[in-house]
Amino acid sequence: MSITRRQLVGAALAAAAIPVAGPALAQSAASRWFAGTTEDNGVVYRATDFKKIKPQWRRQLVKYYSTEPQGTIVIDTRHHFLYVIFENQTALRYGVGVGKEGFKWYGRAQIDRKAIWPDWTPPPEMLLRRPELPKFMKGGPDNPLGPRALYLYRNGGDLGYRVHGTVEPWSIGSDVSSGCIRMFPEDVIDLYQRTPIGTNVLVLEHIAEKGI
């Protein structure tokens, strides 16, 4: 007996009957945050609709008073901003989302590794909290790390913290349930370009700690 495509689809729907309504609804609610698709390194992903994004979370040039040298990345976890220090007391500022339990670490680090469309292996603690997560996910448009990841190291050791993209643009500017420092996919691609290996990172709970 041959199995028709319709039967297969029917079986798949039946198997997924209960959870299907949730994701389907979530999908339609989520879609208003996107404006079509765009391509990067052979991957087609959902483009952020920046008209829906509050102005303060969009990439912009701001004044920045500190003694940090140019090129340094400064992250203000409380205010959800990431800065790349420019010349003449200015910085390029991006909005970020911060993991609630993701950043209990503050201090200096450097970017020793960068990846394009990174794979994701949720850490064991996260799997304990959320057993429904896959143990491994290949890089791609649905991967929560998004199109780029910058890995934070200190003294040659991986700190386990990353700056990465997101598939949930609405989470930028807030504390989210999991993850490290997340950015709009367009922004993390932009940051990747501006961040050579060795770039110094300063993670602050609050910028006033080090701001002048």
Partner 1 sequence: MTNPRAWARAAALALALATALTGAGCLGTTETVATPNVTDAPAGAGINIPPGSSEDYIVNVGRRTYFKADSAEVDATAMVTLDKQAAWLARYPAWKVKIQGFADDPGTPEQNMALSLKRAEAVRTYLASRGVAPDRMRVKAYGRDRLVRDCPEIECKSQNRRVITNLEGDEDI
- Segment contacting partner 1 by CB under 8 A, of 5-13, 99-107, 172-180, 195-203: 195-203
Burial 42-54 (b: 16+ CB within 10 A, else e): eeebbbbeeeebe
Judged by CB under 8 A, the residue of 93, 162, 164, 182 near partner 1 is 93
The set of long-range contacts for 48-56, using a CB threshold of 8 Å and a minimum separation of 24, is 48/169, 48/184, 48/185, 48/186, 49/169, 50/184, 50/186, 52/169, 53/95, 53/169, 53/172, 53/184, 54/95, 54/173, 56/95, 56/173
Judged by CB under 8 A, the residue of 66, 140, 168, 205 near partner 1 is 66
Applying CB under 8 A, does 198 fall inside the site for partner 1? yes
Judged by beta carbon, residue 179 or residue 201, the one nearer partner 1 is 201
Residue 209 backbone phi and psi in degrees, to 5: -60, -40
Judged by CB under 8 A, the residue of 33, 64, 120, 151 near partner 1 is 64
Judged by beta carbon, residue 87 or residue 132, the one nearer partner 1 is 87
Chain residues that interact with partner 1, rule: CB under 8 A: 55, 58-66, 69-71, 79, 81, 86-93, 110, 190, 192-194, 196-200, 207, 211-212
